[in-house]
Amino acid sequence: MGDTDVTTATEPGAPWLIVGLGNPGPDYAMNRHNVGFMVADLLAGRIGGKFKRAGKAQAQVIEGRIGPPGPGSRRVILAKPMSYMNLSGGPVTALRDFYKVPTAHIVAVHDELDIDYGVLRLKLGGGDNGHNGLKSMTKAMGPDYHRVRFGIGRPPGRMQVADFVLKDFSAAERKELDYFVDRAADSVESLVIDGLERAQSSYNS
């Protein structure tokens, strides 16, 4: 049935590809659109590695394991595409093919406009809801990958969506940002170790 067959996700030893979505460069670092990078950076600290350029793929990666030592741990490739958000599909597909990752073992961590700030929603498959990173990924490999959706809320007043997502989190939002990013990283670990249903029951609020 191809690489979107969810049953392939249960193959012993199949790695997970965790993709934090964002835009590269210091000008974008604290943008709402870059919360996926923030979660990836926190997970990198937990794994204990440093991002490095991934060969021909336009991405930075860390290879490591998540979970308790022994058979309960999972092999993961943590990635940040360096192609800009609307071209994320190319680097992710290259990493999927290189590491032989089933599509159902890919997790995209991204900002979500239609969810209140800091609220998480985990799911498998679905539409892109206008998110350019998801749109690029789905065009490249289909929709059957996991998503960790980090709520950023809707822009105030008449502010355009494009302006809102490319602005830094507000001073009020930054007071809770570290907590919410930490919780999002926890949810990724739970998804990989415990499975989607248990992670949803714990983190979908």
Residues carrying an active site annotation: 33
Strand partners, 148: 109, 122
End-to-end alpha carbon distance in the chain: 34
Angle (CA) 56-101-65 rounded to 5° is 95
Torsion sign across C-alpha atoms 177, 179, 182, 188: negative
Side-by-side strand order, sheet with 120-124: 52-53, 59-66, 74-81, 16-20, 106-112, 146-151, 120-124
Torsion sign across C-alpha atoms 113, 118, 122, 149: positive
Residue 11, Cβ neighbours under 10 Å: how many?
A: 10
* 102-to-77, 96, 198 alpha-carbon distances in Å: 12, 7, 20
Rama region for 114: left / alpha / beta (φ>0; ψ in -120 to 50; rest): alpha
